[in-house]
Amino acid sequence: MVQGVDFLRLYREFQLEPGAGIDDLKLAYRRRVARVHPDRLSAKDPISQHLATEHLQNLTRLYEAGLQFHRQHGRLPGALPSAASEQSAARTPPVFAAAPPRRRRRRLGPAIVVAGFGLTALLAFWPFDEDTTDVESVVAARREPATPAFEVPGQSEGLRLGMPEQVVIEVIGAPMAREGDRWLYGPSWIRFEGGHVAEWYSSPLHTLRISPHREPWPGTAVPALQSATAADRLD
């Protein structure tokens, strides 16, 4: 890039005349570099070496800017344009960048239609077994809600005497810990006899979900169980 380059400094550094040519610039650059090169310094201190290197880099930038200007215009910045160069520039047609080729959009419409016909034909001639395939029964089975694993009467009500352990897990949840025949739920607990609820204690700090019905669990031998639970006591 030659924009922002001080070409007056280029002529001062290389001591060129306004009408100098490209050969004069190359010769002046070689002579100037030979004089100011850091290897020719008598003082080898770091500061002097740094300044000399920076000066050499600036000279190289000016020289490259002059070369680029000459490539673009056929002359150095201080020289007047010649008539031949002006005529050649006028005759040279402008160069325009070629537009990128347009990508053809793939037509997906016919392909989708052909695929649809193929799928329809495949389904029409697919060998379904009428004896074993009952579409109505499959649809009816999907519409019917799935039955739960347990058909438990009063399960949503809460804890009851005689309730089995598995149902207790479904209603109350798994215990935090177990001590013998007791399941511990924090300060609350449930005691089992023969795998069925015998009594419990529901603490205000961790209340248990208890059924409001006093009837024992269906099919449970009630005489062996206590009629009053630990929740009914004043503890």
Which single residue is written with the structure tokens 């006899």? 193
The sign of the dihedral angle between the CA atoms of 184, 187, 192, 195 is: negative
**What is the pLDDT at residue 106?**
58
| Cα angle, residue 179 at apex, residues 176 and 183 outer, rounded to 5° | 45
Give 7-80's CATH code, choosing from 1.20.120, 1.25.40, 1.10.260, 1.10.287.
1.10.287
Q: What is the pLDDT along the chain (235 residues), one digit of tens a residue?
A: 566 778 888 899 899 998 889 999 999 999 998 888 877 776 667 878 888 889 889 999 999 998 999 999 999 887 776 644 555 455 555 555 555 656 655 566 666 766 776 776 665 655 544 444 444 554 455 555 544 444 455 455 788 899 999 999 999 899 999 999 999 999 999 999 999 999 999 999 889 988 887 788 887 765 444 444 444 444 4
pTM to 2 decimal places: 0.34
Token pair, residue 84, equals 């031949």
In the numeric block, the tokens 């215009």 are attached to 73
Residue ranges of domains in the chain: 7-80, 165-232
Q: Give the pLDDT of residue 42.
A: 67
